[in-house]
Amino acid sequence: METFAEARAFVKHESYARDRQGIMEAFDPRSIDPPILDLILAFARLPHCFTLQSCFGHFVSADEPDPTNLAPLAAGGAGPVRYRIAYAAFCIEGGVAGARLRDSLAGLCGIDPDYVQFGSPGWFWERQPNTYALQVEPRRFMFQDTAVVEYDEALHIERIRERFFEALRKVVTVEESLTLRD
């Protein structure tokens, strides 16, 4: 699965309101990884975006073989770890509020540019124009949805993932307050 492509410029999205309504009607909170459910619900309150997909990111190893496991990595572990990427993909409405949000999301790459990417994956864009995704993935694997890494790097990815979701919470909190003023 293609997980990364350079960010694109906004295009006209005539059916944005209808598309957002359809996504919101079909939204099932049970399909969201519990650690980020609050975050996805907060983004759902913003009128200038809607979430298409998200994943908290999962670490699969000999110690934890469940591919949907949400447990933190154990300190002192060893061996290879299969990491299934953490990401969030949003469709953003063009305009002042949308541009502000898109720029804020793009800024999250500053957390660690070697592990956080922002772009417009083609397979999302083909379904919804003005789609932007953030992913936490080692740069050398940025076009893949999984990566096999050594345990020490997996611990680093886990720390970046935590910082990433905390920063994403700050972005949505700011957006909520600015939306109230708009």
For residue 99, the domain's CATH number is 3.30.1960
For residue 11, is it within any domain? no
Tens of pLDDT along the chain (182 residues) come to: 567 889 999 999 999 999 999 999 999 999 999 999 999 999 999 999 999 999 999 999 888 889 999 999 988 888 899 999 999 999 999 999 999 999 999 999 999 999 999 999 988 999 999 999 999 999 999 999 999 999 999 999 999 999 999 999 999 999 999 987 76
Query: Does residue 110 sit within a domain?
Result: yes
Structural domain harbouring 169: 16-181
| DSSP state letter for 48 | T
Q: How far is CA 108 from CA 33, 76, 105, 160, in A?
A: 21, 29, 5, 11
Q: Is the pTM of this model over 0.75?
A: yes
Q: What pLDDT is stored for residue 62 in this prediction?
A: 86
Any domain includes 2: no
pLDDT at 4: 85
- Which one, of 65, 59, 57, 123, lies nearest residue 85 by Cα? 57
Q: Is residue 48 part of a domain?
A: yes
pLDDT at residue number 1: 56
Please give the span between the terminal C-alpha atoms of the chain, in angstroms, as a whole number. 38
Residue 8 lies in a domain: no
**Number of domains making up the chain:** 1
Q: What pLDDT is stored for residue 181 in this prediction?
A: 73
Helix-helix angle 37-44:151-181, to 10 degrees: 30
pLDDT of residue 51: 96
Amino acid 182: pLDDT: 61
Select from 177, 179, 182, 138 the least CA-distant residue to 160: 138
In a domain, 6, yes or no: no
pLDDT of residue 2: 64
